[in-house]
Amino acid sequence: MGIKPSCQKIEEERTVFLTKENEVYRIPSLFYDRDNKIFMAFAEQRSTADDADAKQLVMKTGTLKMEESTGVRTIEWSELKVVKEAHLDGHRPMNPCPVYEKTSKTLFLFFICVQDGITERWQRFWGCNRARLCYITTKDGGQTWSGVTDLTHLPDINEWATFAVGPGHGIQTESGRLIIPTYAYASCSASYCCISCYCAVPHALALYSDNKGSSWEFGRMLETKSVECEMAEVSDDAGKNYIYCNARSEGGYRVEAIDTGAGFKILPSAGKLVETGKGCQGSVVSFPAVSEGATSDSSPNKWLLYTHPSDQCKRIALGVYLNKTPQDPNGWSKPWIINSGPSGYSDLAYIGDGWFACLMECGVQKETEQIKCEVFHYSQVENGIAGKEIVFN
């Protein structure tokens, strides 16, 4: 049987970036501007799916709409726009990672610019960084952007084989601190290196600013080997805030850590968040705790929502996981599968009143066929985790 016209229309609306011949979209990044009630979706446009073939960053803006007869919420997206300001001559921009400064109403779009023709593999092998740390800013929802600010002068970068931000999104804490999730390959000593090994070891860490983005510095690295990460601010019943980090590993299970103010401490794995194959990026957001089935953004307590392929071998079956006790890795639920087929990188955004949006790589044959966006409510998450059938109408 064919797809009903209304269902087909909704499915088409979920597609944000569609891969075509010689035009592949990867590395989704999502930001929801609560001040202006708009979404901003970013991605890399590549000539092939390979990292070395990234060409430019692109974006779309979107507005949330609801179909009155069904209550289904979708996002109406603008035409694609090239973020031409995110550019350094002789380099390719990669890993979009936005963070919003609420006081000045400024969106910082961080990214790295990697020298053309140079791969991460090459940098790791030779211990020679060819990536630059950059950002641009906008105050009007991406209609206009500033020029590039290059932060590669920060002293820590000189000690790394290479590094990257995100990808995904950064956060602003209640205290005002801006945080960009980062990972870096710490260079090994020349005496240890050999021609047959890559001894540069990756570690996740935070890039942060305490003066609304005027200056930036790096925090301390996680002690455990860890790669791409995202972070969220959570709080307990006593109202104490801390930073949670969820990072990619190279097999087995995800790396989780918390920072209560003295640097990140690794949480013992409970074996509930599996890593996929050699690893895959995942996304995490915090949101106000739900009380007796009611959603309210006034709760001081924060829970976590996390998305990642749920298969331990292949990038398939994107799952949504819930943790009501973020300091306890045993608190993670079973996954609610929101995309059963090929699934890759994803990025979550909390909209408010219990609503979320997830921008994800997915497809029928492979995960690089498109980047689509699903909008769902907390009640759907709970029902999906409980094994009840949930249908995106």
Question: What gap in Å lies between CA 35 and CA 22, rounded to an integer?
Answer: 37
- The residues near 238 (Cβ < 8 Å, ≥ 6 apart) are none
For residue 183, pLDDT beyond 80: yes
Whether residue 389 is predicted with pLDDT greater than 90 in this model: the reply is no
Percent of the chain predicted with pLDDT > 90: 81
In a domain, 161, yes or no: yes
As a whole number of angstroms, the distance between CA 56 and CA 53 comes to 10
List the one residue out of 283, 253, 287 whose CA is nearest residue 361: 283
Rounded alpha-carbon distances, angstroms, from residue 230 to 29, 238, 341 = 11, 24, 24
Question: Residue 379 falls within a domain, yes or no?
Answer: no
Give me the phi and psi of 28, to 5 degrees please.
-70, 145
81 within domain boundaries: yes
Question: Residue with structure tokens 């047959």?
Answer: 196
**b/e 144-169 (16+ beta carbons within 10 angstroms → b):** ebeebeeeeeeebbeebbbbbbbbbb
381 part of a folded domain: no
Q: Does the residue 132 lie in any domain?
A: yes
Cα–Cα nearest to 324, from 281, 355, 291, 353: 291
Catalytic residue, from 230, 233, 256, 361: name it. 361
What is residue 236's predicted lDDT score, i.e. its pLDDT? 74
pLDDT for res 71: 72
pLDDT at position 298, please? 67
Stated pTM of the model: 0.93
Domain membership of residue 102 as a residue range: 7-276
- Report helix, strand or coil for 58: strand
35 is catalytic: no
Q: How many CB atoms lie within 10 A of CB 56?
A: 15
Bridge partners of 303, per DSSP, are 287
pLDDT tens, 10-48?
566 699 999 999 999 999 999 999 999 999 999 999 999
Taking residues 308-322, report their average pLDDT: 96
Q: Give the pair of three-digit tokens for residue 138.
A: 């906008």
Query: What are the angstrom distances between the C-alpha of 79 and each of 16, 45, 71, 376?
Result: 9, 14, 25, 23
Q: What is the CA radius of gyration of the chain?
A: 20
> Measured at the alpha carbon of residue 178, what is the angle toward residues 218 and 159, in degrees to the nearest 5?
15
Note the pLDDT of residue 3.
Answer: 40
Active-site residue among 25, 32, 208, 345? 345
Q: Does the active-site annotation cover 382?
A: no
- 137: domain CATH number is 2.120.10.10
Rounded average pLDDT over 310-327? 96
Report strand pairing: 201-209 vs 178-186: antiparallel
Q: How many folded domains does the chain comprise?
A: 1
From the list 13, 23, 33, 51, the catalytic residue is 51
Name which of 231, 392, 216, 366 is nearest 304 in CA terms: 231
Q: What percent of the chain has pLDDT over 70?
A: 91
Quote the distance between the C-alpha of residue 228 and its chain's center.
9
| CA–CA distance, 299 with 353 (Å, rounded to integer) | 11
Residue 253 included in any domain? yes
Q: Would residue 259 show up in a list of annotated catalytic residues for this protein?
A: no
Is 320 among the domain residues?
no
- pLDDT per residue as tens digits for the range 64-93: 998 877 778 889 999 999 999 999 999 999
* pLDDT score of 192: 39
- How many angstroms separate the Cα of 99 from the Cα of each of 160, 177, 287? 24, 11, 17
Question: What's the pLDDT at 293?
Answer: 62
Q: Is residue 89 in a domain?
A: yes
